[in-house]
Amino acid sequence: MKLEILKEIIKKKENKLEFAIVTNLLTGESEIFEEKKPLSKNFEKYNDQINRFYKSKKNGIVENTDIFIETYIRPIKVIIVGAVHIAQYLVDYAKSLNFEILIIDPRGYFASEQRFPSMNIINKWPDEAFKEIETNSNTALIALTHDPKIDDPALQHALKKKFYYIGALGSKKTHENRCQRLSDAGFSEDEINSIHGPIGIKLGGKSAPEIALSIVSQLVSETYKK
């Protein structure tokens, strides 16, 4: 691989861009593939096959060729609202996956560097915090505080931006009350029903690490449905 291509790959990964590396395994020739950018003459005839690999976010060899495609996927942004005990286990589980974790909590005594080392922490109310974060339909939200003053603005933002995954911690009664508040705020039944509440896959666990495992399992499952 040429040095200039390697430098460009490093730069794109640092900037969290999505792309693919196309390599002729026979000759060793490589180039970077990006949507809506033309390939060189040596690879352009495989454009459709390469694009299919890229869109499916998979690696592989184009059938009956020596052309290998390796895709680089942008980390999925997962916003945790509430720096509670469960969040600590969530971070431990999720950090080895392809997630970019952000924690929002205005309560500095919860959201601290000591409790969440090397994490991106925003000690602000959600309305203010979301002004600093770029979000879209590829973003996930996990609301954990049980406090409507903190969770509800975050849930409303996630619904408006059509996050692909929205989950909120709490009992069935807590969730019923939450849904009523969202309905009163003007959200439709379909929008409200898109929230996973109570959050997590039913594993039967009760402890903080078990609840965190059920949440991250549901998150991964929904991620692969996108």
Asked whether residue 226 carries a pLDDT value surpassing 80, the answer given is no
Distance CA 141, CA 139 (A): 7
The beta-strand segments (E) located in the chain are: 19-24, 30-33, 60-61, 67-72, 76-81, 99-104, 120-122, 140-143, 165-168
In sequence order, the 6+-apart residues with CB closer than 8 A to the CB of 226 are 138, 164
**Residue 42: how many CB atoms within 10 A of its CB?**
13
- Residue 14 pLDDT > 80: no
What pLDDT does residue 90 have?
Answer: 94
Q: pLDDT tens across 136-152, in order? A: 998 999 999 989 999 99
Residue with tokens 């690696």: 59
pLDDT at residue 73 in the model = 79
**Domain architecture of the chain: domains with CATH:** 3-72 (no CATH), 76-223 (3.40.50.720)
Residue 108: predicted pLDDT? 85
Query: How much of the chain exceeds pLDDT 90, in percent?
Result: 66
pLDDT at position 210 is 95
Query: Which of 20 and 98 is assigned the larger pLDDT?
Result: 20
CA–CA separation, 113 and 96 (whole Å): 19
Q: Which residue, chain included where needed, has tokens 């392809």?
A: 98
Contact 183, 193 (CB under 8 A): no
Helix, strand, coil tally for the chain in percent (to 5): 40, 20, 40
Sign of torsion over alpha carbons 102, 106, 110, 112? positive
CA dist., res. 192 & res. 47, Å (int): 41
> What pLDDT is stored for residue 6 in this prediction?
85
Count other C-beta atoms under 10 Å from residue 98's C-beta.
12
Give the model confidence (pLDDT) of 80-105 as tens digits: 999 999 999 999 998 888 799 999 99
pLDDT attached to residue 151: 96
Buried b / exposed e across 58-67, counting CB within 10 Å, b at 16+?
eeeebeeeeb
Residue 143, pLDDT score: 97
Which tokens in the block code for residue 75? 């980390």
Closest by alpha carbon to 140, among 101, 110, 177?
A: 101
At 197-223, the pLDDT tens digits run 989 998 888 899 999 999 999 999 998
CA-based radius of gyration for the chain: 21
pLDDT band of 69, cuts 50, 70, 90 = very high
